[in-house]
């Protein structure tokens, strides 16, 4: 080439009536073929791989009028249509995480509903933790010691070093750290308090789990305790103790007894979720209790400590009867 350019150049044009259009049309101008996902992420850094994957699953990305894999190579003259809101395309700063507790070894952070703990998404809890460190001028690194589902809010334990990671993961595995949740169920459980003891099997093909009565077929033991704190119409506010910690355990176990969590699109009552306008499951990991005695001297100051998140808004609405 005359100017010595060896890569690809691209420009784009938009078709639409204004900045608030729900559909953006991008006409590709590129000297060389380039992957669809790479092209879009360079154009809109805020999208990220996770958001692109989600948009493709929801049929919000069309290439020349058809749904195509993100690995497809776009060429000069191709037309990409994005059915995304303007704010989804904007690059926004990642907000800092909220810490309930922090010392030189561990962090207790609050995860809002709707963000993943980690992954390819632009906004995750771990990225918010790093954003907080960066804002405070700290070069600290943290690792997750357990997880919460995307739609679940509440407390997450993170370790700042290898010793803390080993201590926390061992304590969680040995069930020495108690995890208590608050949730709202569609249906009042009977009896009002119980310790549920069953088995759980994963259905990887459907990305769900099932509660079964025996350990046959590789099913894992699940133990879930609950106590009804209040009722309102068809709904109940429960405090739940997660004795074992399996994938989707609380959600699947409560659905198994006929009381799915409000807002749960996977195991719940979607008609009720829509009627009551719940986008995410009404489930919050609200309390972490450390054991009364900790032998490791470095972490002995945590003995007997209890950390709590703020109670989510729906708790009060069940208590005062405005949500039912």
Strands 106-111 and 98-102: antiparallel
Distance CA 54, CA 19 (A): 23
Please report which residue ranges of the chain form alpha helices under DSSP H: 36-43, 48-57, 86-89, 125-135, 162-173, 249-256, 270-275, 313-319
Q: Tokens representing 23?
A: 């559909």
Written as one string, the DSSP assignment of 101-136 is EE-SSEEEEEEPTTSBSSSSSSSBHHHHHHHHHHHT
Distance CA 110, CA 108 (A): 7
Distance CA 32, CA 60 (A): 25
Per the residue annotation, which of 37, 78, 123, 149 is the catalytic one? 149
Q: Is residue 149 among the annotated active site residues?
A: yes
Distance CA 136, CA 144 (A): 20
Q: CB within 8 A of 39, min separation 6: which ones? A: 10, 28, 30, 74, 80
Round the CA-based radius of gyration of the chain to a whole number and report it. Answer: 24
Q: Any bridge partners for residue 82, and if so which?
A: 24, 61
Positions marked active-site: 149
């Amino acid at each position: 080439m005359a100017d010595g350019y060896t890569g690809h150049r691209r420009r784009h044009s938009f078709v639409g009536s204004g900045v608030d259009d729900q559909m953006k049309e991008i006409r590709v101008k590129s000297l060389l073929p380039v992957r669809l996902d790479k092209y879009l992420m360079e154009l809109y850094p805020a999208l990220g791989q996770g958001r692109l994957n989600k948009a493709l699953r929801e049929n919000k990305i069309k290439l020349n009028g058809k749904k195509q894999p993100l690995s497809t190579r776009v060429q000069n003259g191709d037309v990409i249509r994005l059915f995304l809101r303007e704010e989804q395309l904007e690059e926004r700063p990642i907000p800092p995480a909220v810490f309930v507790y922090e010392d030189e070894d561990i962090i207790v952070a609050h995860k809002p509903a709707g963000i993943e703990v980690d992954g390819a998404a632009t906004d995750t809890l771990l990225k918010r933790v790093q954003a907080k460190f960066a804002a405070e001028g700290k070069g600290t690194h943290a690792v997750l010691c357990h997880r919460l589902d995307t739609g679940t809010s509440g407390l997450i334990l993170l370790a700042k070093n290898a010793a803390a990671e080993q201590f926390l993961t061992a304590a969680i595995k040995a069930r020495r750290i108690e995890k208590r949740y608050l949730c709202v169920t569609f249906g009042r459980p009977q009896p009002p308090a119980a310790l549920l003891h069953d088995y759980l099997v994963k259905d990887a093909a459907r990305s769900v789990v099932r509660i079964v009565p025996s350990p046959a077929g590789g099913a894992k033991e699940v133990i879930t305790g609950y106590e009804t704190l209040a009722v309102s119409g068809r709904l109940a506010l429960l405090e739940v103790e997660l004795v074992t910690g399996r994938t989707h355990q609380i959600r699947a176990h409560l659905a198994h007894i006929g009381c799915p969590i409000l807002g749960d699109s996977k195991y719940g009552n979607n008609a009720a979720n829509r009627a009551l306008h719940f986008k995410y499951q009404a489930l919050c990991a609200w309390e972490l209790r450390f054991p009364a005695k900790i032998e490791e001297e470095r972490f002995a100051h945590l003995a007997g400590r209890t950390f709590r998140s703020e109670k989510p808004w729906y708790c009060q609405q069940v208590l005062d009867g405005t949500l039912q």
